[in-house]
């Protein structure tokens, strides 16, 4: 199986998982989308768990690259924080999809361990990035920045979930605006 077919499988599995969660990863459906026999998928991914873990791993790696790009293009911490929600908004812009890992996190108890590990890694990557941006802003000590980072991550992921359930990307923007007005998505800590 070619590298291109492997990439097509991963892309189709990502779309399925963003639309229907881990349970939406179905070899037959993915085979139909890619145009191969579902048995051919087993060449690179011996099980659904292997495919799910590979998709989730690629997802957090892509998110980490996007976050690094935001930081490199916007060395001012406040601007980086302001752009952070864009990585979640992109999924909504692309067919009203949910963040793949947010969807899988909702199914966490039923996930294979290899997939759980990748789901955790996505959260860790986001929280660590946010923590470092807040520290760079001189906002507070590391523990306070990490707590704030967890709150920002949870709030933005929650805004995406609410907007998706309403099919209304403007609602996502409204919620993010509310978080900014309330000072949650800010490099400043309330004293």
Structural domains in the chain, CATH included, are 52-182 (1.10.357.10)
CB 36 within 8 A of CB 80: no
pLDDT of 83 reads: 96
pLDDT tens by residue, 149-159? 999 999 999 99
pLDDT of 191 reads: 39
DSSP 86-118: HHHHHHHHTTSPPPHHHHHHHTGGGS-HHHHHH
CB 57 within 8 A of CB 118: yes
pLDDT of 1 reads: 46
Which regions of the chain are under pLDDT 70? 1-3, 187-191
Task: Taking the CA atoms of 42, 47, 48 and 50 in sequence, report the sign of the dihedral they define.
Answer: negative
Give the count of beta carbons closer than 10 Å to the beta carbon of residue 111. 21
With a threshold of 0.85, does the pTM exceed it? yes
Distance CA 134, CA 16 (A): 34
pLDDT of 3 reads: 60
pLDDT of 103 reads: 84
pLDDT tens by residue, 123-132? 999 999 999 9
Phi, psi of 75 (to 5 degrees): -65, -20
pLDDT of 178 reads: 96
pLDDT tens by residue, 100-123? 888 888 899 999 999 999 999 999
Alpha carbon dihedral 74, 141, 129, 171, in 10-degree steps, equals -80
């Amino acid at each position: 199986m070619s590298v291109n077919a492997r990439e097509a499988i991963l892309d189709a599995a990502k779309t399925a998982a963003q639309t229907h969660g881990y349970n939406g990863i179905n070899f037959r459906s993915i085979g139909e989308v890619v145009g191969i026999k579902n048995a051919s998928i087993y060449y690179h991914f011996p099980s659904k768990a292997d495919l799910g873990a590979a998709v989730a791993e690629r997802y957090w790696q892509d998110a980490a690259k996007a976050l690094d790009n935001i930081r490199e293009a916007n060395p001012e911490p406040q601007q980086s924080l302001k752009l952070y929600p864009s990585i979640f908004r992109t999924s909504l812009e692309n067919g009203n999809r949910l963040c793949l890992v947010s969807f899988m996190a909702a199914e966490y108890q039923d996930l294979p361990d290899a997939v759980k590990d990748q789901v955790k890694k996505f959260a860790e990557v986001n929280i660590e990035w946010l923590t470092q941006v807040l520290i760079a802003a001189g906002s507070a000590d590391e523990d306070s920045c990490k707590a704030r980072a967890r709150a920002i991550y949870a709030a933005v992921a929650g805004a995406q979930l609410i907007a998706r359930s309403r099919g209304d990307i403007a609602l996502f923007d409204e919620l993010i605006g509310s978080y900014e007005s309330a000072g949650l998505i800010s490099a400043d800590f309330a004293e």
